[in-house]
Chains A and B, each alone.
Chain A
Amino acid sequence: MDKTIVAAIATKEARIGLRNRWFAIYTILFSVLIIGFVAFALSGSNLTGQAGFGRTSAGLLNLLLLMVPLIALTIGAQLIASERQDRSLDYLLAQPLTALEVYVGKFIGAAISLMLMLLIGFGGAGAVMAFRGGAGGAGGFLMLVALTLMLGLAMLSVGYLISSFSRQTAAALGIALTLWLMFVIAGDLGIMGSSMVLGMSPETLLSLTALNPLNVYKMASVDLLHTSLDVLGPAGIYAVDQFGSAFSYLMLGLLALWILVPLPIGYWLFKRTDFQ
């Protein structure tokens, strides 16, 4: 794999991503919501310093859990499918480069534009928090930012996998939105319902929870923000009992796996797919 070619493709992809109208829409939407939430949360309390950051960061979790996967999944799902549809992928692959260089370069480029989008929103929110609540607790906020970037990359990776085998953008987006709904709704409610009906052990419950990257992100965030994992129910209590201080690393590792595992599977599908 030639790094110069990968860098050229990544740069082009990031440039195209930044010029895409969806980038502007998503960035504005994300920034407005996150900054609005932070401003509203802070104005509703008289807390300052660390408490301001810490509580607001924890409150942000639910908003981020909905928005970031939706944005990242839909961006990822369009990456290859849209170029396959308008034949620009054929044109790129007709050049003297390898499919792996194209696959890696496009992902890196999209990851750069996604991270930039999230950092613009977080930057605005951080500025509001710093201005309104002092600088205390910024570490927790930065940790949340880092975790959210990981969640974004994981969802981008899953969306990219969907794009790898999709012929049409609409189909890829349909699969991505269904998956998002499953992660957001069926993830929590489904596990909760199943555990009640089937009488699952906390161990099984934790394993199932770990299968949903959103739950992994939630558990890692709650743990890192030093909130009690009791709020996550039996699975959380079991996790603390079993893993103690290693729990955070376990969750970070799982989130990293959600970033890394879909990529080779997606590449295999990308190489295998042969449309007319």
Chain B
Amino acid sequence: MNDRLYSASEGNVPAIAVTGVSKYYGQFPALNNISFEIGAGESAALWGPNGAGKTTIMRCLLGLTKYQGDIAVAGHDPVAAGQQARSAIGYVPQDLPVQPMTVGEMVAFIAKIKRAKLRDSLDRLSLLGIENQVDKEIRALSGGMRQRLALALALIGNPSILLLDEPTASLDAKGRADLLQLLHRLKGQGMTLVFSSHRPEDVLALADRILMLDGGVLSEEQSPGAFKSTLGSQSRLVVFLRNGHRQVALDTLTEIGLAGSGEGKVISVPIRVDQKAEVLSAMARNGVDIEDFDWEQYAWTKQ
């Protein structure tokens, strides 16, 4: 692909401009006076707990719900000029709806409504490595394959903005790595990315800016560096060991400047989001026999 294929807007018009947007469901404020801008070619992550307003913002950007305030997507109002606004967006839902269609039929359908050439649209399948699935029923695809298809469909018609709702949620480790790599490549080609994720690694891998949402309020905007330090010790690695390896494991942690604790075959250690590999490698180097491990995050917002 060319170096820079996507251009979200003409001149200095931001790819997305959200000004004073509020959304109420009855008395419940799903979004409360939110404002932000995302420049062309930027990558922004929407970060926050469930119910923070991430999906509602996406629905507003797509013109799927009414709101108070102003939104411009590539210069177009998603409600008043929805078709033009959505022409600029490729939308990747968390779960692609399963309809009784084959992959090829779905690609042909989306190509028609996006007024794109079928051949070019089918090429998107090759880009995602699923060109051999064209005759398969969508319902027969695995979660990972379905997510790739969702991205392939979103890329039909060359949109300048990709809107992704938890894109890696249903993917295994390899699928996630592949997808992140592809998104990184698209970003490099000038595509604007807006995505929500529950995974800090995804955010750190892709985002230029992180929009921190809580209770429908945009509490803060952060750079990846600030985000990393915000998360700080807000995660914990739990390691399951073979008998007799606990003390060596705890000593290893002390060696790399961490303070772990544990009983029996299990130890737990508060770590930074990006320290998992470092801890596990150090233990392996010192001959700690690891049966399994788990990683959990404590909190979503800045402490």
Give the B-binding residues of A (Cβ under 8 A). Answer: 4-5, 8-9, 12, 15-16, 19-20, 83, 86-88, 90-91, 93-99, 274, 276
Is B96 at the interface (CB under 8 A from chain A)?
yes
Flag if B89 contacts A8 (CB, 8 Å): no
CB contact under 8 A between A4 and B100, given known A97-B83, A274-B66, A276-B30: no
Flag if B113 contacts A96 (CB, 8 Å): yes
Contact string against A for B residues 59-77, beta-carbon threshold 8 Å, 1 for contact and 0 otherwise: 1001111100000000000
Size range of the chain B interface in the assembly = 20 to 34
For B25, B66, B100, B113, the residue with the greatest tally of chain A CB atoms inside 10 Å of its CB is B113
List 25 A-B pairs, Cβ < 8 Å.
A5-B112, A8-B109, A12-B105, A15-B105, A16-B99, A86-B97, A87-B95, A87-B97, A88-B97, A90-B64, A93-B62, A93-B64, A94-B62, A94-B86, A94-B91, A95-B86, A95-B91, A96-B83, A96-B84, A96-B87, A96-B157, A97-B86, A98-B82, A274-B66, A276-B30
CB contact under 8 A between A95 and B114, given known A274-B65, A274-B66: yes
Cβ–Cβ < 8 Å partners of B127 in chain A = none
Taking CB atoms and an 8 Å cut-off, the chain B residues in 101-119 that contact chain A are: 101, 105, 109-110, 112-115
| Pairs of residues from A and B, 4 with the lowest C-beta to C-beta distance, nearest first | A88-B97, A8-B112, A96-B87, A94-B91
Beyond A95-B110, A96-B83, 7 additional contacts (C-beta under 8 Å) are A90-B59, A93-B62, A94-B89, A96-B87, A98-B83, A274-B65, A276-B30
Is B93 at the interface (CB under 8 A from chain A)?
yes
**Shortest distance between the CB of B74 and any CB in chain A (Å):** 11
| Bound: A5/B64 CA distance, A | 19
| Bound: A91/B154 CA distance, A | 11
**Shortest distance between the CB of B243 and any CB in chain A (Å):** 48
| Bound: A7/B150 CA distance, A | 23
Cβ–Cβ < 8 Å partners of A90 in chain B = 59, 64, 93
**Shortest distance between the CB of A134 and any CB in chain B (Å):** 42
Cβ–Cβ < 8 Å partners of A4 in chain B = 112, 115
| Bound: A94/B83 CA distance, A | 9
| Bound: A256/B65 CA distance, A | 33
Flag if B86 contacts A20 (CB, 8 Å): no
| Bound: A219/B95 CA distance, A | 50
Chain A residue at minimal CB-CB distance from B85: A96
Interface of A is mostly: helix
| Bound: A133/B114 CA distance, A | 53
Flag if A94 contacts B64 (CB, 8 Å): yes
CB contact under 8 A between A276 and B113, given known A16-B100, A88-B99, A90-B93: no
Flag if B109 contacts A16 (CB, 8 Å): no
**Shortest distance between the CB of A7 and any CB in chain B (Å):** 8
Flag if B91 contacts A91 (CB, 8 Å): yes
Cβ–Cβ < 8 Å partners of B113 in chain A = 5, 8-9, 95-97
For B25, B99, B115, the residue with the greatest tally of chain A CB atoms inside 10 Å of its CB is B99
**Shortest distance between the CB of B86 and any CB in chain A (Å):** 4
Cβ–Cβ < 8 Å partners of B105 in chain A = 12, 15
| Bound: A99/B84 CA distance, A | 13
**Shortest distance between the CB of B182 and any CB in chain A (Å):** 20
| Bound: A99/B96 CA distance, A | 20
Flag if A91 contacts B100 (CB, 8 Å): no
| Bound: A19/B100 CA distance, A | 7
Cβ–Cβ < 8 Å partners of A276 in chain B = 25, 30
Cβ–Cβ < 8 Å partners of B99 in chain A = 16, 88
| Bound: A150/B166 CA distance, A | 46
Cβ–Cβ < 8 Å partners of B101 in chain A = 12, 15-16
| Bound: A216/B284 CA distance, A | 82
| Bound: A5/B115 CA distance, A | 9
| Bound: A15/B112 CA distance, A | 15
Taking CB atoms and an 8 Å cut-off, the chain B residues in 251-289 that contact chain A are: none
**Shortest distance between the CB of B58 and any CB in chain A (Å):** 9
CB contact under 8 A between A91 and B86, given known A5-B113, A8-B113: no
Cβ–Cβ < 8 Å partners of A83 in chain B = 97
Flag if A20 contacts B100 (CB, 8 Å): yes
Chain A residue at minimal CB-CB distance from B157: A96
| Bound: A165/B67 CA distance, A | 19
Cβ–Cβ < 8 Å partners of B83 in chain A = 96-98
Cβ–Cβ < 8 Å partners of B157 in chain A = 96
For A9, A16, A19, A274, the residue with the greatest tally of chain B CB atoms inside 10 Å of its CB is A274
| Bound: A189/B65 CA distance, A | 44
Taking CB atoms and an 8 Å cut-off, the chain B residues in 123-156 that contact chain A are: none
**Shortest distance between the CB of B287 and any CB in chain A (Å):** 50
Flag if A96 contacts B100 (CB, 8 Å): no
**Shortest distance between the CB of A160 and any CB in chain B (Å):** 19
